[in-house]
Amino acid sequence: MKIMIVYYSAYGHVHRMAEAVAEGAGEMAGAEVVMRRVPETLPEELLKKIGIFDAQKAFSHIPVCAADELVAADAIIFGTPTRFGNMCGQMRSFLDATGGLWARGALVGKIGSVFTSTGTQHGGQESTILSFHTTLLHHGMIIVGLPYSFQGQTRNDEVTGGSPYGASTIAGTENERWPSENELAGARFQGRHVAGIAGRLFR
């Protein structure tokens, strides 16, 4: 059973969530967990100007994903920061390059799941994940979210990400806030939940 975590991270928040998703998925017996980044589309000069170039060095060891790699996975968990309530352009570009997989029905029946990060509490976490699901449905994937059996998403004692659509974190408008333990717990739960369903489905 192969679980792929495919994500884009600018400053590291989605990367940290991806690590937690991988931790959770890796707890399931028989799960092979693979992490991949989608290709960067911004020019290096701009990346340096806005501080992304140096931030991305921390996870530059994660290989860049090729679209054909998705075929070997039983479940794919996608991570993206939000851009105006939608996935980021880098992720959109990567998915737009999967037309050949769509034509072959190569992802039909695979599990798809999504997690995200926003700058603010109401910055589009749910809309980003829900709009992402449209692409997964066009590929014929089976969508898995973050069920309420993860009780951390019902907490009201702190500002926190997490919804039944998927794990999420709040990065802050200056990228100053990092995933809380509750948000990381949600990411681990989602990874474990997806791996568990994949194990039952493909056993």
- Return phi, psi of residue 76, to 5°: -125, 125
Taking alpha carbons only, the member of 121, 182, 178, 128 closest to residue 150 is 182
pLDDT at 70: 98
**What H or E segment, with its residue span, contains residue 19?**
helix 13-26
In Å, the largest CA–CA distance within the chain is 49
- Please give the Cα distance from 64 to 60 (Å, whole number): 9
Region of residue 61 (left: phi > 0; alpha: psi -120 to 50; beta: else): alpha
Contact criterion met (CB below 8 Å) for 164 and 145: yes
The CA-CA-CA angle for residues 125, 120, 42, to 5°, reads 75
The CA-CA-CA angle for residues 42, 45, 47, to 5°, reads 50
* Residue 47: half-sphere exposure toward Cβ, Cα within 13 Å: 15
pLDDT at 203: 76
**Domain 2-202 class, CATH top level:** alpha beta
pLDDT at 202: 83
Burial class (CB in 10 A: 0-12, 13-18, 19+), 102: middle
Indicate the SS3 state at residue 126.
Answer: helix
- Please give the Cα distance from 56 to 52 (Å, whole number): 6
pLDDT averages per 10-residue partition of the chain, 203 residues: 97 98 96 97 94 94 98 98 97 98 98 97 96 98 98 94 97 95 98 96 83
Q: Where are the alpha helices (DSSP H) in 56-110?
A: 89-96, 99-104
Q: Where are the alpha helices (DSSP H) in 42-88?
A: 44-49, 52-55
